[in-house]
Structure formats: C-alpha cells, structure tokens
Amino acid sequence: MDWFFTDLIQTTNHIDYKIVNVHQQKVGSLVKVKNVGQVNGPIEINVFNDSELVETVWLEPGGKEGKIKSNRSEYTHLSIDASKDIPELSRQNNLWRKKALFHKWEPLKLEFLSGDHEAHRTNVFWTPTIAGNAYDGLMLGAAFHNLGVPLNRFQFLLAPQFGLASKNMVGVAEALYVILPKRGIKQMKVGASLKSFSHGGYLTSQFVGLSPYVKIILGDRSIKNTSYSYLELKGILKGDYANGALWERSLGFKSKYVFRKKFKNATFSVSPILTYVQQDANLIEGGRDMFLRAEIKSSFSLDYRISEMKRSIDFSAYFGKNFVTQLNTYDSDRLSINMSGVRGRQDLFLEQYYFARGGVQQQMDGMGGFYSTSNVGSNTNWIGSLNTYISLPVKPNVFGLFLNQGLFPKGQKMEYMFNTGLALKVGEVFGVYFPLYRSSNMGNLFNGGYADEIRFTIQFNIVENGRNLGDFIN
C-alpha cells in the first residue's frame, strides 16, 4: 500500500492511466495500459457490451497488461475505472472503442460556456465574445476552448473576432501541454500564444505575434515543501503589417528563473531575467534596433493580522540594465527600461492585453514598479527601484498605501526620485493608483490635469495570474 500512504497522502503526485491498445487472442483479449502519472496504483479495467458491464479485471500496481476473458464479439468498448472511483488527472484517455476508426478517440461534444470533462466524450466549449480596444473599436466573435473541470493536460483557446472600427479579423489563440515527469521535476508546460490586433503609432498597422514557451517547475512533490521555483524560456516572432506589406519584424527570447520561499508569516522571492530582442523596420527606415538586457527582481512580504483581517506589507526591489543597445530607427521607447511599469510598446513578448498599446495610463506591473504615468527616469541604460506597499486593515481588502523610490542616470550623475499615494487594488488583476506627493523632478501633480496622473492596471491574463475572489473579499 505504499502507493496510497506515500504517493497520495504525502505528495502531490498525480494519478493518470491510459489504454494503449487491445489485441484479440485465441481466447479473450490482451489489454495494454500505460501509467502516464506518478502513482503506481492498481488499475481497474471494465469491459462493456453497449451499456452492460460484462467483465472487470484488476491490474496490480505497476502492471502494464491484463487478460480479459471476453472475445471481441462480446464487447463494444473498454474503460479504465468507469465508476470514477480513482481521482485521475485526466479521463480522456480511458476509453477504447471497438467500432471506431480511431479506437481511442472519444466522440466530440460541443457545449455552451464551460462544464465538466466527460470520460467518454471530447468536450469542446464555446461562447460568444465581445471586447474592444482603441484601434479595432468594438470586437465581436466567438471563443472555443476545452477549459473545463478538471483541466486537461492539453488545453487550448481559439477566439477569433472582427473589429468593427478597423474592419480587421483579429483575436487570440492559446495552446498548452502539461508534462508530468515521474522524477526530477514537478511539472513542465510547453505552449504557445498567438495574438493579432490593430495598432496605432507612426503607421496604423496590424500585428501578428507568436510566442512559444517552456516552463519547468522544479523541486519535489512533498506537500510539506515550502519553496517553489521554476525556469521559463520564452520566444517571440512578431510582424507588423501596414498597407498590405510587412513593415516591422521582431525576434527575441527571454529566460527567467524564479525562486520563492514561504515562511510562517513571510514570503521571499528572487528572479533573475535575461532578454534579447531585435526589431527590423524594413518599410520605413530599413534599420535594426536591438538590446541585450539583464534584470533582477526581489520581493519580501510580511503578513500581519488585525482582528480577523489578514493583511501584508510588501517590499520589492528591481535593477535592470541594457548591456547592449543599438538604435537605428525612430522609436527608442521599445528599448527603454521604464520606471513606471510596462507600457504597451514595451510588452515585446505580448504577455498582456492593452486597451491602447501606445498609451501611458494603462501600465502593467514590472520594471521599476512606480505607480505613476510619468516617463521620468526611463532610459536605455539602467534603473533601480525600491517599492513598499501596505495593505490597509479595512474591508474589503482592496485599499493600500504605496511608496516608490528610484535611482537612474542623468548625464554623468545619478538622480533620485520618489512617488507616494493611495491605491485601490484587486489582487494582481486590477488596480487604480492615486499619487498624492512626489519628488520635484517628476513635476507638480496639481498644476495640470490630475486625472492624467492617475495610473491604472488591468491585467486580463487572469489564468496566468492565478487569483481568486477570496484573495480580496476577506
């Protein structure tokens, strides 16, 4: 019973078995199975003639084949654990059908919105979609996906849309396959993201970007493990098309390592990042821009509790430097290291969704991490920052105070800047930041239109952020 008391109780190992093939013999049939999970438990094989259970065979832990007494004329299909007693990761590989052209393929079933994955069906879900941005205007379309319960190892999303303002076909597509090795690493994710939207700027264009990635989650599967780390490799191949011709082409890669350690009332993380990107502007100037950038991020979060309210004080530090910079075209903004987060033009790997990629008020958390719309401090050399965020002990858990401090080069000297204010923050998905006081080199907050100084963050990639409502209701 080691498979139960060790693999299931003391680890996060997954159970997943599949039928490989079925061979007719002189008497009965030979069923070959494969353990594609990490638990060597017993396997139940059920033999059916239509809906009638004909026979059940059990394989011992580690067994790879079993003999059934029934001949082919006596059954229509075979299934692993038809009664769903085993907590399997995926049941879409448990069926073998005698009369099907592809014996292991389940019939397709189209359902509205989402639902559970049925053991004997390939479930595809759909829903109408509506969205919008500054360049395509209102976008109408449909989304097709297999994001049901439980999640499959292979996950996909296809969401084509039509922009009523741009008259362009736009949209997104995502594909991901999860590999669960039996030893060495916890998990490996191999996937790709495809995005296409219209874009403003020097020319009105439409970009098409493909970003493949590999994410390797390291460590063992012990439930008591308090540390978490992963290595991610990501690429980008992007083209901007204007007036029916390729105007700009981008190519690059990014490698990132993340280590996170949780203590009783605190969490520490550190993440070095290396990025290389080159962009060719063939149509306008025929030049090439490129950079090689090294970054390191670190954070420390300390939990505190007042009455029943659990809150935190978060500290984060950042340093980024472009070691190689080559600028031959008109647009240096893409190469800049920005003190106030990541603007649309700097989202070179298309990791987020922007209402206006050329705008400044919607910026994503990252780089210097200032909660500001100011461009002060941004440059193509280096920046450093230290940020503090205090979650206030009031309900709901969305209010906080922030203090941003940064250093950047100015000529032959180094200059200091700071920014502080009030925040309304919903997890990592949505935030509105109201600066109240800042250093003089960032300008006077109240001389012009204060509304333009308010910074907001809308990170639509909710699945990647992994947040839930319980994070900010209590």
Q: How far apart are CA 170 and CA 81, in angstroms?
A: 43
453-457 average pLDDT score: 87
- pLDDT at position 332 is 66
Do 97 and 222 sit in the same domain of this protein?
no
As a whole-number percent, the residues of the chain with pLDDT over 70 amount to 88
Do 462 and 374 sit in the same domain of this protein?
yes
Pick the residue with more confidence: 2 or 364?
364
Tokens of 431: 């935030």
Q: How far apart are CA 251 and CA 238, in angstroms?
A: 7
- pLDDT at position 464 is 46
Do 100 and 187 sit in the same domain of this protein?
no
Query: Residues 80-111, buried b or exposed e (16+ Cβ, 10 A)?
Result: bbbeeebebbbbbbbbbbeeeeeebebeeeee
- pLDDT at position 346 is 84
With cut-offs at 50, 70 and 90, classify the pLDDT of residue 473. very low
Do 192 and 74 sit in the same domain of this protein?
no
List the CATH number of the domain containing 54. Answer: 2.60.40.10
Residue that finishes a domain, picked among 65, 80, 106:
106
**Does residue 415 have a pLDDT over 80?**
yes
Pick the residue with more confidence: 10 or 403?
403
How many independent structural domains does the chain possess?
2
418-433 average pLDDT score: 90
Q: What is the value of pTM for the model shown?
A: 0.82
- pLDDT at position 293 is 96
250 close to 289: Cβ distance less than 8 angstroms: no
With cut-offs at 50, 70 and 90, classify the pLDDT of residue 205. confident
**Does residue 90 have a pLDDT over 80?**
no
- HSE at residue 39, side-chain half, CA atoms within 13 A, is 25
**Does residue 11 have a pLDDT over 70?**
no
Q: Is 8 exposed, middle or buried (0-12, 13-18, 19+ CB in 10 A)?
A: middle
169-184 average pLDDT score: 86
12 occurs within a structural domain: yes
Query: Residues 393-410, buried b or exposed e (16+ Cβ, 10 A)?
Result: eeeebbbbebbbbbbbee
Do 192 and 94 sit in the same domain of this protein?
no
150 occurs within a structural domain: no
Do 283 and 416 sit in the same domain of this protein?
yes
132 occurs within a structural domain: no
- pLDDT at position 179 is 85
Residues 99-153: tens digit of each pLDDT: 776 666 677 888 998 887 776 778 899 999 999 988 999 999 999 998 887 778 8
171 occurs within a structural domain: no
Residues 68-80: tens digit of each pLDDT: 888 888 888 888 8
386-392 average pLDDT score: 97
With cut-offs at 50, 70 and 90, classify the pLDDT of residue 185. confident
Pick the residue with more confidence: 456 or 363?
456
- pLDDT at position 8 is 59
Q: How far apart are CA 230 and CA 169, in angstroms?
A: 36
- pLDDT at position 466 is 37
Close Cβ partners of 212 (under 8 Å, ≥ 6 residues apart): 191, 192, 234, 235
Contacts 24+ apart (CB under 8 A), 331-337: 331/201, 331/202, 331/281, 331/289, 332/289, 332/380, 334/277, 334/279, 334/289, 335/289, 335/291, 335/380, 336/378, 336/379, 336/380, 337/293, 337/367, 337/368, 337/378, 337/379, 337/380, 337/381, 337/382, 337/383
Residue that finishes a domain, picked among 63, 82, 106:
106
**Does residue 54 have a pLDDT over 50?**
yes
191 occurs within a structural domain: yes
With cut-offs at 50, 70 and 90, classify the pLDDT of residue 411. confident
Range in 25-34, 137-146, 316-325 with the lowest mean pLDDT: 25-34
Q: What is the largest CA-CA distance in the chain?
A: 91
- pLDDT at position 103 is 62
DSSP state of 416: E
As a whole-number percent, the residues of the chain with pLDDT over 90 amount to 41
Question: In the predicted model, what is the mean pLDDT of the chain?
Answer: 85
Do 87 and 193 sit in the same domain of this protein?
no
140 occurs within a structural domain: no
With cut-offs at 50, 70 and 90, classify the pLDDT of residue 474. very low
Q: How far apart are CA 193 and CA 174, in angstroms?
A: 5
**Does residue 470 have a pLDDT over 90?**
no
**Does residue 325 have a pLDDT over 90?**
no
- pLDDT at position 126 is 95
Do 94 and 231 sit in the same domain of this protein?
no
Do 372 and 285 sit in the same domain of this protein?
yes
Of the candidates 117, 104, 111, the one whose C-alpha atom is nearest the C-alpha of residue 148 is 117
Do 77 and 221 sit in the same domain of this protein?
no
Of the candidates 209, 216, 170, the one whose C-alpha atom is nearest the C-alpha of residue 192 is 209
307 occurs within a structural domain: yes
With cut-offs at 50, 70 and 90, classify the pLDDT of residue 221. low
- pLDDT at position 465 is 39
Range in 185-189, 197-201, 221-225 with the lowest mean pLDDT: 221-225
Q: Which domain holds residue 34?
A: 2-106
Pick the residue with more confidence: 346 or 401?
401
176 close to 190: Cβ distance less than 8 angstroms: yes
Residues 252-269: tens digit of each pLDDT: 999 999 999 999 999 999
- pLDDT at position 463 is 40
**Does residue 213 have a pLDDT over 70?**
yes
19 close to 40: Cβ distance less than 8 angstroms: no
**Does residue 468 have a pLDDT over 50?**
no
Most confident by average pLDDT, 67-81, 282-296, 320-334: 67-81
252 close to 263: Cβ distance less than 8 angstroms: no
218 occurs within a structural domain: yes
